Structure 1
Amino acid sequence: MSALQAGVPVITIDGPTASGKGTIAHRVAQALGWLVLDSGALYRLTALAVQQQGVDPNDQEAVARAASQLDVAFQGDQVLLSGHDVAGLIRQESVGNLASKVAAYAPLRQALLERQRAFRKAPGLVADGRDMGTVVFPDAPLKIFLVADVNARAERRCKQLKEKGFSANLSGLLEDMRARDERDRNRANAPLVAAHDAKTVDSSNLSIDETVKLVLDFWSGACK
């Protein structure tokens, strides 16, 4: 990381799947006029590329190579993979489940580490994921660990999928989410855990606006 990058402020928002990280990160970034990094999208894009290219998902080095060769661009709500908008495809549960599996691979995490850090540009960055505060941006002046009850998260994800035209089964989502939480918390490489200096926010009973305000209030306090 360059000295110039080191001077760029970062807010990290980590947490389990469907805790609202992406929505909150985008809203906070919008309020501050900052850039945003959806790190989970990079893992989902890798999973999608593995599926589309017929890569063996159990071959860690092959998965890492696929990640290093991703032709990715983020343009507003569009997520472009080799020029095609795949924003909808990467939100499918099959892609999310595969992303959760391959995210435990050390070669893949290393392949994506510098690509994630390159998003750190002025005037600032809001980065969401599972290891943003612990591994990718350990020097971030504000780290949020966003949690929510697993039932509330499953209901949110079910609603999101149905709104986007995908079929969704609440009980199946709940089972998948619990399994994914278990994998994320217990993987050997960059497990899902709050940074020692992170502020934990439980969004189970908070609206999006209330959660965004809380994060912005924390940032105002960190700047004093």
Structure 2
Amino acid sequence: MSDTNGLPPVVTIDGPSGSGKGTIAKLLADRLSFSLLDSGALYRAAALAALNKEVDLSNDKLLTELAKDLDVRFTVSAGQLQVWLEESDVTADIRMERVSMAASKVAAIPGVRAALLQRQRDFRQPPGLVADGRDMGTTVFPDAPVKVYLTASAEERANRRFAQLQEKGVSVSLRDLLEDIRARDAQDMNRKASPLAPAEDAVELDSTGVSIDEVLRKVLDLVQERISP
């Protein structure tokens, strides 16, 4: 299977935090037997490394150097993506709220984005790739034959995150989560480097009140239409 350029096809799934793009990307990659790129995990790993090393999050130069030398790798176990930072399993650590907020700041730095760009493109291997992020369709894989922009209301996304944290026994305020999501949206959409926005040729899907199965079906339909086996 290849796209019109003779390269392995890419399905990009962009959107704001909590829209469900990570879940859909994993299910889609499994269904298609494609590789999976969770680009957010790269930025979260960079943010965690910065926090661990106590690097000032306002120091663009130091953060760019850290990103260039980032010792991070991904493995898949039982269908789940595992993230390793300097040989430590940080899969759970990078999902902490403080890391999420730090990642949004780190990802806004042009030097950091440039340092991690080629690393993301290297994931494009046969038979294909599902890439989950915020600028996959606009910057990283602008030639992708299938581009999806998945969104949901801020309230819906806050409720989803609240339920996830409750299941893990984490006590958190729903109001605080909603404020954090809105703040992160504003930061991601207004940054100078690759701001969060749908690609001009992306299909926009709103997952508010829509089941995972229904969203997955719509994306699979797009893949069938646009990628020839």
Instruction: Provide the secondary structure at the position in 1 that maps to 2:73.
Output: strand
Separation in structure 2 between the aligned mates of residue 6 and residue 60 of structure 1, nearest angstrom: 37
Percent sequence identity is: 52
Partner of 1:37: 37
In the TM superposition, what is the alpha-carbon distance from 1:6 to its structure 2 partner?
5.7
Instruction: Provide the secondary structure at the position in 1 that maps to 2:57.
Output: coil
Per-residue CA deviation, residues 160-202 of structure 1 (Å, 9 max, x unaligned), is 2222343322110000100110111111110011000000000
Per-residue CA deviation, residues 83-128 of structure 1 (Å, 9 max, x unaligned), is 1111111101110001111211000000000010011100000001
Moved >4 Å (runs of 4+) = none
Amino acid at match of 2:99: V
Partner of 2:202: 198
Aligned residues of 2:19 and 2:152 also touching (Cα < 8 A) = yes
Instruction: Provide the secondary structure at the position in 2 that maps to 1:171.
Output: helix
Amino acid at match of 1:203: S
Partner of 2:57: 57
Name structure 1 gaps, 5 residues minimum.
none
Separation in structure 1 between the aligned mates of residue 195 and residue 174 of structure 2, nearest angstrom: 26
Per-residue CA deviation, residues 120-170 of structure 1 (Å, 9 max, x unaligned), is 100000001000000000000000000101100001111122223433221
Amino acid at match of 2:66: A
Separation in structure 2 between the aligned mates of residue 110 and residue 163 of structure 1, nearest angstrom: 37
So what's the TM-score if we normalise by structure 1?
Answer: 0.95
In the TM superposition, what is the alpha-carbon distance from 1:74 to its structure 2 partner?
1.4
Partner of residue 130 from structure 2, selected from 126, 141, 157 = 126
In the TM superposition, what is the alpha-carbon distance from 1:65 to its structure 2 partner?
1.3
Name structure 2 gaps, 5 residues minimum.
none
Amino acid at match of 2:16: P
Task: Sort the Cα spacing of 1:69 and 1:162 in 2 relative to 1 into closer, same or farther, 3 A.
Answer: farther
Separation in structure 1 between the aligned mates of residue 193 and residue 100 of structure 2, nearest angstrom: 18
Separation in structure 2 between the aligned mates of residue 68 and residue 6 of structure 1, nearest angstrom: 30
Instruction: Provide the secondary structure at the position in 2 that maps to 1:127.
Output: strand
Partner of 1:8: 8
So what's the TM-score if we normalise by structure 2?
Answer: 0.93
Separation in structure 1 between the aligned mates of residue 105 and residue 43 of structure 2, nearest angstrom: 10
Separation in structure 2 between the aligned mates of residue 57 and residue 33 of structure 1, nearest angstrom: 38
Instruction: Provide the secondary structure at the position in 2 that maps to 1:13.
Output: strand
Separation in structure 1 between the aligned mates of residue 75 and residue 191 of structure 2, nearest angstrom: 32
Instruction: Provide the secondary structure at the position in 2 that maps to 1:48.
Output: helix
Aligned pair count reads 220
Partner of 2:178: 174
Aligned residues of 2:207 and 2:215 also touching (Cα < 8 A) = yes
The residue correspondences of 1:138-217 to structure 2 (distance < 5 A) are: 138-217=142-221
Amino acid at match of 1:54: E
Please state if 1:111 is matched with 2:115.
yes
Aligned residues of 2:12 and 2:147 also touching (Cα < 8 A) = yes
RMSD: 1.2
In the TM superposition, what is the alpha-carbon distance from 1:54 to its structure 2 partner?
1.3
